[in-house]
Amino acid sequence: MKKLAKRIMQLAEKYQDYTALNLSKLIKIKSLSQDEGKVNLELKRQMEEAGFDEVRIDGLGNVIGRIGHGKKILAIDGHMDTVDFGRLDNWDFHPLCGEIKEGFVHGRGTVDQEGGPAAFVTSGRILKELGFDKDWTIYFTGTVMEEDCDGLCWKYLYEEEGIHPDMAISTEPTNLNIYRGHRGRMEMKVSFKGISSHGSAPERGKNAIYMASRAALEIEKLNEHLAVDEFLGKGSITISEFKSGSPSLCAVADFASLHLDRRLTWGETKESAVAEIKEIIKDMEAEVEVLHYEETAYTGLRYGMEKYYPTWKIDESEAVVQKGVETYEQLFDKKPMVDKWTFSTNGVTINGYYKVPMIGFGPGNEVLAHAPNEKVPTDHLVKASAFYALFAFLLED
Ligand SMILES: [Zn+2]
């Protein structure tokens, strides 16, 4: 192990209880999407206590902590909102307990994904303690609304705050592997217009449900033929909702709609996905639209984006992946597993829209995300805090 890596690992280990306790404090504050105000005040307090150069909260409610003032920017991101508990009787402990025992921190959000921010607060403390002075600015972002609209927070940071990173690390759970992409996704709605007539004489009308049903069966077939990427897997499409309407239950339905959940693999785009649906409905009285997300942040700001979350993948030979591998090898004396997420992250905007080179490295096992009995090993928190700090030190000026 190189000297600096060793020093950083020692500090990360020394701060193990501090990191676990910081996470426990975050977990005790319930923080559903659009309600991250309290948890973000606590994260801000922790960054200040750790000696960050500047900490503030932006208009959407993201916490932005800064260390350094160099020309290039590294962003280390973790979202602070969590999903709800689900059925409490599926849990062996209370989701807000934040209990630290038997080598784990327990509770909703420990894996997905306040463990990442707790670890990066400690990495900031280590950077300050070791006098980080590279020509880089490190932004640590505790972001909002990710569970409902992944990437929206980074649309705000990039477009409204003007933060344009040269590199980024997502701290979403990777089980301490290095991840370099995931499939994208989008939501579409297909609307069918029929003509109603009395239910006793359906031949006079045009039934929108039959039209939508024919399209639905074609969409089922489409799913079998979507593109496959060796690394990311296959694209997919499914119908998540079927609605219809008619003037009466004794009339031909004059309206129907399908809500489509489309997962996009490499090479599939918004345009290609919309074109496939247009081909299916071309002889029907129907149209397809990409849906829009717009909601009110806890700060009161309304903000939104199209529900198109692009696929992203970084080549293994790119500098950001190589830097991640080098950091890992120096700290842990072995080769990392380089893989991908099954779920979607803020990478959809950070890299998908804005092309910022990015990797993922985070504490916790993603199978516990959104599941009962969520808990993260404190050992993962320690290793992640060492990883973020050494990664910053290994950046080239
Ligand atoms: Zn997440």
Name residues whose C-beta falls within 8 Å of residue 162's C-beta, 6 or more positions apart in sequence: none
Give the containing element (helix H, strand E) for 361: none
Q: Is 133 designated active site?
A: no
Q: Is 81 designated active site?
A: yes
Question: What is the CA(211)–ligand 1 centre distance, in A?
Answer: 38
Please name the residue that has the structure tokens 């293994």: 316
Kindly tell me if the per-residue pLDDT of 82 is higher than 70.
yes
Among 77, 69, 72, residue whose Cα is nearest residue 358: 77
- Quick: pLDDT tens for 179-191: 999 999 999 999 9
Kindly tell me if the per-residue pLDDT of 91 is higher than 70.
yes
Kindly tell me if the per-residue pLDDT of 124 is higher than 70.
yes
Question: What is the CA(210)–ligand 1 centre distance, in A?
Answer: 39
Kindly state the DSSP code that residue 170 receives in the 8-state scheme: E
Question: What is the CA(343)–ligand 1 centre distance, in A?
Answer: 8
Q: How far apart are CA 188 and CA 135, in angstroms?
A: 44
Q: Are 50 and 114 in contact (CB under 8 A)?
A: no
Kindly tell me if the per-residue pLDDT of 1 is higher than 80.
no
Kindly state the DSSP code that residue 335 receives in the 8-state scheme: P
Count Cα neighbours of 265 within 13 Å in the Cβ-side half-sphere. 14
The pairing of beta strand 358-360 with beta strand 167-170: parallel
Question: What is the CA(170)–ligand 1 centre distance, in A?
Answer: 10
Average of per-residue pLDDT across 267-279: 97
Burial 130-161 (b: 16+ CB within 10 A, else e): eebebebbbbbbbbbbbbebbbbbbbbbbeeb
The type of residue at 363 is P
Question: What is the CA(393)–ligand 1 centre distance, in A?
Answer: 26
Rg (CA), the chain: 24
pLDDT at 397: 85
- Quick: pLDDT tens for 322-381: 999 999 999 999 999 999 999 999 999 999 999 999 999 999 999 999 999 999 999 999
Catalytic residue among 42, 81, 150, 374: 81
Question: What is the CA(362)–ligand 1 centre distance, in A?
Answer: 11
Catalytic residue among 58, 146, 229, 254: 146
Q: Name the average pLDDT for the chain.
A: 97
Question: What is the CA(345)–ligand 1 centre distance, in A?
Answer: 6
Check: pTM over 0.85? Answer yes or no: yes
- Quick: pLDDT tens for 182-220: 999 999 999 999 999 999 999 999 999 999 999 999 999
- Quick: pLDDT tens for 345-362: 999 999 999 999 999 999
